[in-house]
Structure 1
Amino acid sequence: MKRRTLPLLVSLLLSWPLSAAAVDFSADELARAKALQQRLLTLDTHLDTPANLARDGFDILQRHGGSAVSEVDYPRMLEGALDGGFWAIYTEQGDRSEAAHLHDRDAGLARLVEIREMVAAHPDKFALARSADEADRIKASGRRVVFISMENASPLVADPSLLSFYQQAGLRMLSLAHFKNNEFADSATDPKGPEWKGLSPAGRALVQEANRLGIVLDESHASDAVFDDLLTASKLPFILSHSGSRAVFDHPRNLDDARLRQLAAKGGVIQVNAYGGYLTAITKSPERVEAEKALEARFGEYDAMSMAQAQAYGDALKELEARYPVKQATLDDFFAHLGHILDVVGPEHTGIGMDWDGGGGVQGMEDVSQLPKITAWLLRKGYSEKQIADIWGGNVMRVLRQAEAYAARQDAAAH
């Protein structure tokens, strides 16, 4: 997920189609793909949709197609045959002062409550998953699967012992850092460069505690040095919940082939994302940048926008796009990353984490309703139903089961 300001909306709107992507699928291909997904456990490991749950005018049960701030809702999940996934508790990192740490702590807990309230309000449509087996049972019941994840461990800085509380409340995946370094780990994108040269001592302790509690570690957004540290610091395989291939596009948020192979050797999984700026080079003219700044000043903060205000912003941005067009990432760009990663580590270590509602979406796949295009592409490439099942959920559930088994052994040894 990206910073919760108007630049995020810019990235979302850039995914809206101006022309068709090169890749295309027949109605029969898409129908076959959707039917297959409906049989499989189809999960996305990075849904930023919780950011919308408290937004004025947003209703998870209503279709919000074409909105500048919404790519996921219940109707479109049904259309795209998405069973659910990991719903992220994201906290934009403050200035790392004591007051900021307390703010981050409270923001994380508030987002946790919002996710659980959504599930409680719609028990016939959503269910909280605490284990891989529960996800299978929820799928069989016809409901959507809600695993809880945390993107950016900043809510834990003020009190790392809160991780145990989060685990009891349903947390099953944890990433350590986001755009900037924090007290636990270095970010891949902090302009100041590395602070810890990997994990900090507090970060190593947090990794050990996450292992003990059966929480899967997520390396997305963290630096290469953090990846290298996790190979030895974590007793368990870890994942990248929404990342890409550096060989396809050289960006620090993506992973190089050597580390892809190390990830696979440890039993981990990389979930391929659809955030345009990580898929291909997107450059803006100075005039475009200034026009976006003017829109930001006019419309204000992302989190404070109502759905109606976001619609007005989207209309304004489309006018801006007509004046100062920007190259858009396409579905072909996404498939270039997915295909390369499959070639390097195979379908046993590859998954899908599109970054929906956090900036994800490309020209040709603008929201979650279009996910069968991915399955249609995999079928075209000759992947078997078992391999596609692994990509859509089996791989990350294997990692979660390993974490569950390790936690059970630790608990038994302690008692």
Structure 2
Amino acid sequence: MDKKKGSWESSGCEKGGISRLFANSAHMAKELFSVEEKNDRPRNFALSPLSIDLVLHMLAAGLKGNTLEQMLKFLESESRDEILSKSRNMMDVLDTLSSNEGENDNVLCMVNGIWVDEHCPLIESSQPDESEPSYMEQPNEPSYMDQILIKIFKPLEWWTKLTHGLTMHQKDSLKTLFPTGCLIKSQDFFLANALYFKGMWDSEHIFDEALTDSDERYFYTLDGEKVSASFMTSVQKYHYRSFDTFKVLKIPYQKRVHGKFSMYFFLPDSQYGLPNLLEELSGHPQEDYFDLEEVKFEELWIPKFDFSYNFDVAATLKKNGFPSMEDSKDFSKMVKIRRGVPNFSTNMFQKVVIKVDEKGTEAATVTDFDFPRSARSKLMNFVADHPFMFMIKEENSGLIFFMGSVLNPSL
């Protein structure tokens, strides 16, 4: 990545920063798992850490007062100026990565957006509407819409990029990203973003579709049941490493003109090891999780999966110190607040759609065995026949675009 334009080092991913971002992402995954394990039928879940981080920076850039102080602490930043600097660099990096010129089947697009109630419009210029008194204290400061939203986060530009080059089927699928009922009249303020990724497996790491379902295979769930599933397999070499209680496998996507993407699979050794794995990754992250060696497997089986997941981001982050954001005065850099509006309601949701098969991955966002094991052979095995975690990561920047867990590929 060009350090003069959009160096991710200045955006918080300096040495050691990747581990922190990975730990925060794993912590969110752990929170989502804790919700799902209480359900009678736990669902597969996924989230986009990058998408959430982007929206939080977009929000923090327009805050003030105590809410800003809480958000700075949450984002581990010293000042609003630091938030703006990180946001500029973040968007420069993403602008480069999302350039799809010269790409064939690989697509990366993103859009940012804000919706507000008509009674609390965005501040469109540096001069407030004097006919409607507000809480804005510095009328000559740069406006949130002109100087921050448009110049840094570029919502109109990103929307053009999001739809450019996509097929009608892909454009229609984007309509399903927003959770049902997320835009309702009772809400004063709504932040949203959409991220679309399509990557084909690298030609040296493809799966033979003829071998899928060549024989019946089962996936063993956390409740002790087994379900039939379609498993992909390959005789190619893959990057891999075994740790104390889990294994890591990397599958690269076709190289892009800008960016190098891979999918990682974190497989617990135990059928019931996913909770301990999420605890380990959120509490003791290590950068050598991604320091893998190329090996050839005796057995390699990964289930195909295709699911969607939506959740309340704010509720998920609350245990980690996410601010309540109720004081309307603290939003006055962003929107015009009418007198007599003491409190403000905010909502932040995310929905992720992901599909993994023999050809590659398409993802978007707007979160005991019946038989004994045989003796280990000298060759490595990677049989993902029980709950595991996955991640889509850009190698140069360290950005984590998607993360989630498969608890039952048949759902």
TM-score normalised to structure 2 length: 0.25
The structure carrying a bigger helix percent of its residues is 1
The structure carrying a bigger strand percent of its residues is 2
Of structures 1 and 2, the larger Rg is shown by: 2
TM-score normalised to structure 1 length: 0.24
